[in-house]
Amino acid sequence: MKHTDSISSIQLAVIIASTIIGVSLLVLPRFIAAEVGEAAILASIVGILISLISVIAITLLARKFREHTIFGCNQLLLGKYFGNLFNYMIVIVFIVIMGLEVRQFAEVLATGLLPNTPIEISIFIMIIICALVGYSNVSTFAYIHFFYLPFLLIPMFFFLFALEDIETYHLLPILGHNLSVKQFLSGAIIMTQVITNYFVIAMLIPYIKDYENCVKHGIWGFFLGALAILYCIVVSLGVFGAKELQEMYWPILSLSRIIQIPGEVLSRIDAIILITWIFAVFTTLLSYYFVIVRGTAELFRTDKYSFITVLMIPVIFVFALIPNNVYEIYEYASKITYVSLFLFIILPVCLLVIGHFRKRTGVQ
């Protein structure tokens, strides 16, 4: 298939960064602190390095198989049966994850900005906004990410005013208190689960113009998004401490409420953080929807992107309403993310190894 639009490797990096900074930002410090305590920073770094393996594998696949998305690579390297099996799994996992995360988004809005608005309304509006973008043009998708990235980094500036409230004893000991290797790795995996949503780039492989730079820029984009998340974890842990973080529902939102700007120029920092967080939610969910629509179209060999986009609205809406409360959201998310870790990290690495072996033995 001949593609009429394309993106640069720099746009690829921006897509990675803006997708990583997303829905789970507000609650992530609580989960990691609950698992590993003061070792949250080190565990997060290990989780970032684990996730980096997938970025490298996907971008190397992009250089090796330039005409295929991850769906095409699955069929080419694993055969039609097993390849399509994994392709269906990828679409289903993204539908479930998007449903859970748009529900989490609605729960936060009900707590902060829109307490009197039914969560069904917030869910439906966000899905509709994502559906209105259109997915027939990849370059438009990249431009949207490029436009919103500066807004996603605004909270990082405001958190500078919280640095003076950091207590160093909250960050020590860096290895935590009597943690087992299993506990430490569980905390690292939480970080890995949250930031592996950049898998959308595996659907952009045929559209990259400068393949020689896609690995380098992909790594830079990954570190931009991952370090922004790590920065929020460090600040919230340093200000509140591990025990207090575990008692908070939305630690980043609580952190924004105690920030004081010199001269009291701004009095509601939490409102600004919530607004920029909505942008972050939108770009992340947009990436999920892109994989769902384009992946479904590739599975059924069609270019009816508008029809698939409309068709998926009620499907995602239903999945978003399945959890009865926010606790069930995270319970379902913890289960589905273990499947996603296999699809988003192990599968690309296996494809890269198989592709190298087939090329070396002359089987193309």
Question: Is 363 a member of any domain?
Answer: no
Instruction: Identify the domain containing residue 267 by its residue range.
Output: 9-350
Question: Is 80 a member of any domain?
Answer: yes
Q: Indicate if the pLDDT at residue 2 is higher than 60.
A: no
Tell me the mean pLDDT in the region 54-79: 92
Q: How crowded is residue 230: how many other Cβ atoms within 10 Å of its Cβ?
A: 20
Task: Provide the 3-class DSSP secondary structure of residue 5.
Answer: coil
- The pLDDT mean for the chain works out to 90
Question: Is 364 a member of any domain?
Answer: no
pLDDT (0 to 100) of residue 326: 85
> What letter would DSSP give residue 269?
H
Instruction: Write the CATH number for 331.
Output: 1.20.1740.10
Structural domain count of the chain: 1
Q: Indicate if the pLDDT at residue 364 is higher than 50.
A: no
What residue has token string 């809406």? 317
Question: Is 120 a member of any domain?
Answer: yes
Question: Is 2 a member of any domain?
Answer: no
Q: Name the least confident of 166-170, 210-214, 279-283, 307-311.
A: 210-214
| CA separation for the pair 212, 204 (Å, rounded) | 15
Q: What angle do CA 44, 159, 200 make, to 5 degrees?
A: 50
What residue has token string 């980043």? 252
pLDDT in tens, 112-147: 778 888 999 999 999 999 999 888 889 999 999 999
Question: Is 358 a member of any domain?
Answer: no
Question: Is 54 a member of any domain?
Answer: yes
Element (H, E) at 271: helix 269-299
Question: Is 357 a member of any domain?
Answer: no
By the 8 A CB rule, do 121 and 102 touch? no
